[in-house]
Amino acid sequence: MLFFRTIISFFKDKDYRDLLTTTLIIIGFGSAVYHYLEGWGWVDSLYFSVITLTTIGYGDFSPQTDAGKVFTVFYIIIGIGIILNFINTAHNHYNSMKSNRGKK
């Protein structure tokens, strides 16, 4: 129950919604670029974008074109900070909700 209350309160805050929107735009942009540069399907492009920006990097996909490789370098540099900021913010928000619940 705490998890769902945390998510609801997360979406009510404008700053958090803006961060989520920025994250979704970065992932969507990367997915579109990989779709067109590498010729991957939409699911594969989305998968690669998320795996790359979360630094998991399974290695099952990799850009084969020079343009895709160059884009990936800049995509990682720009996108990783945004994704990590989103993950850190969500984690901190959950912890604050958890600690506030414990104080009541």
Residue 11 included in any domain: no
Task: Give the pLDDT band (50/70/90) at residue 44.
Answer: very high
Please answer whether residues 97 and 11 qualify as being in contact, where contact means their C-beta atoms are separated by less than 8 angstroms.
no
Task: Give the pLDDT band (50/70/90) at residue 30.
Answer: very high
Residue 15 included in any domain: no
Task: Give the pLDDT band (50/70/90) at residue 73.
Answer: very high
Residue 94 included in any domain: no
Please answer whether residues 76 and 19 qualify as being in contact, where contact means their C-beta atoms are separated by less than 8 angstroms.
no
Residue 38 included in any domain: yes
Residue 28 included in any domain: no
Mean pLDDT taken over the chain: 85
State the CATH number of the domain containing residue 68. 1.10.287.70
Residue 53 domain boundaries: 33-89
| Neighbour-count burial of 15, counting CB atoms closer than 10 A to its CB (0-12 exposed, 13-18 middle, 19+ buried) | exposed
Residue 101 included in any domain: no
| Total count of domains within the chain | 1
Q: Specify the pLDDT at position 25.
A: 92
Q: Within a 10 A sphere around the Cβ of 94, how many other Cβ atoms?
A: 16
Does the model's pTM come out above 0.85?
no
pLDDT mean over 9-28: 82
Residue 76 included in any domain: yes
* Structure token digits, residue 59: 């290695």
